[in-house]
Amino acid sequence: MSGHALDFLVGPYSPKAIALRTTPQGAPPYPGQNHVLTAALYFLKSAKLNLGAPFSGQLLFMASLAGTMVAVWRFRRYGIFLLLWLPLPFYALSMAYGSVPIFMPVWYPFSYYNVRYGLELLPVFAVFIALVAGAIFERINGARFKAVTPCVLVAAVAAAYLSAYREKPITLREAQVNSRDRVPIELALGSYLAALPRPATLLMYESDHVGALQQAGIPLRQVISEWAHPEWEEALKHPPGDADYIVACEGDPVSVAVRQRRTELPELLSFGTPGQSPCAIYKAPAYATARDLQVNMGSEHENKR
């Protein structure tokens, strides 16, 4: 915790701060910015896409709307379930005025970003579809017709699952597309970090390449990152702080801090991959020798053989 109650709103890792860092200068407003209705439509569309193919999503969405009408009609019994719709105004307002965009491949700007937010409406689909099915079941006479209602419901849900399986869930596609350039450098960085002496403490900005730590098998408790306060702030003022090694990728807060003390921090190696900012690993003065990384990497390769 940072100790600042409003960090989530105005801090360096708030949506607005992230948007300022990642949005190109002069870029047009994202869909839904300062427009609640458009933001709501994008959020609803992302919710439908998380259910599977467009047709399946639209079908289940219409069924959930019918279930919502049942809840309104029988408010005393089911009115509490209407609270499940709260994510709709929350995310619509967040998109419109909180710098939280949603990009989808089927609508402008035809890319992937925050599509997972639509998953917040899954309880709506689960509950209100069941409500409308129950209401229909109560009003149908005859055992044969009563048996049709659950069969239709199961078929509709199964069709949504199959369509999602056939096309891959959209959240999985988002992760694959957005990590295409990042995975190679995380694999390379992970292999270098795995060769460092253990246990060693790192100073590293996790938001960009936390996957490298997973690849190297380094627990987060050994990393001084933007989530560790006040150690993070102190380490940036006087790198490496309490860390044994420093991982800096061009443009991140660690690289900015290291730039001012390059002559005091021996660089062990630097590397990069296409489409990603180059990274470098530094050692803290008086910790290990400059040959440590090479020796450990050589041992690692020998063990693999």
Residue-wise pLDDT tens digits, 28-37? 899 999 999 9
Number of Cβ within 10 Å of residue 19's Cβ equals 15
Residue-wise pLDDT tens digits, 226-283? 888 889 989 999 888 889 999 999 989 999 999 888 778 889 999 888 888 899 999 9
Q: What's residue 138's pLDDT?
A: 83
Same domain? 123 vs 204: no
| 88 neighbors 44 (Cβ within 8 angstroms) | yes
Domain total in the chain: 2
Q: What's residue 161's pLDDT?
A: 87
DSSP conformation class of 113: B
Same domain? 276 vs 213: yes
Residue-wise pLDDT tens digits, 23-66? 777 788 999 999 999 999 999 999 999 998 888 899 999 999 99
Amino acid at 292: D
Cα–Cα nearest to 121, from 91, 84, 156? 84
Instruction: Copy the structure tokens of residue 9.
Output: 């709103």
Cα–Cα nearest to 122, from 214, 234, 44, 11? 44
Above 90 in pLDDT, residue 103? yes
| 216 neighbors 193 (Cβ within 8 angstroms) | yes
Say how far apart CA 193 and CA 225 lie, in whole Å: 15
Say how far apart CA 111 and CA 104 lie, in whole Å: 5
Quote the percentage of the chain above a pLDDT of 90: 52
Instruction: Copy the structure tokens of residue 103.
Output: 């990009």
Determine the 3-state secondary structure of 1 from DSSP: coil
Same domain? 224 vs 298: yes
The answer to whether position 81 is within a domain reads yes
Q: Which domain holds residue 57?
A: 31-177
Same domain? 168 vs 189: no
- Last residue in a domain, options 157, 177, 197: 177
Instruction: Copy the structure tokens of residue 235.
Output: 């380490």
Positive/negative CA dihedral, 17, 19, 25, 28: negative
The answer to whether position 91 is within a domain reads yes
For 123-136, give the DSSP string.
Answer: HHHHHHHHHHHHHH
Instruction: Answer with the residue of higher pLDDT: 295 or 77.
Output: 77
Where does the pLDDT of residue 302 fall: very low under 50, low under 70, confident under 90, or very high at 90 and above? very low
The answer to whether position 3 is within a domain reads no
**Cα pseudo-dihedral 229, 233, 235, 236, rounded to 10:** 150
The answer to whether position 140 is within a domain reads yes
The answer to whether position 2 is within a domain reads no
- Last residue in a domain, options 129, 161, 177: 177
Same domain? 172 vs 61: yes
Q: What's residue 287's pLDDT?
A: 58
First to last CA, the chain: 44
Same domain? 163 vs 293: no
Same domain? 48 vs 117: yes
The answer to whether position 162 is within a domain reads yes
Same domain? 66 vs 128: yes
Please provide the average confidence, as pLDDT, over all residues in the chain.
86
- Last residue in a domain, options 177, 204, 239: 177
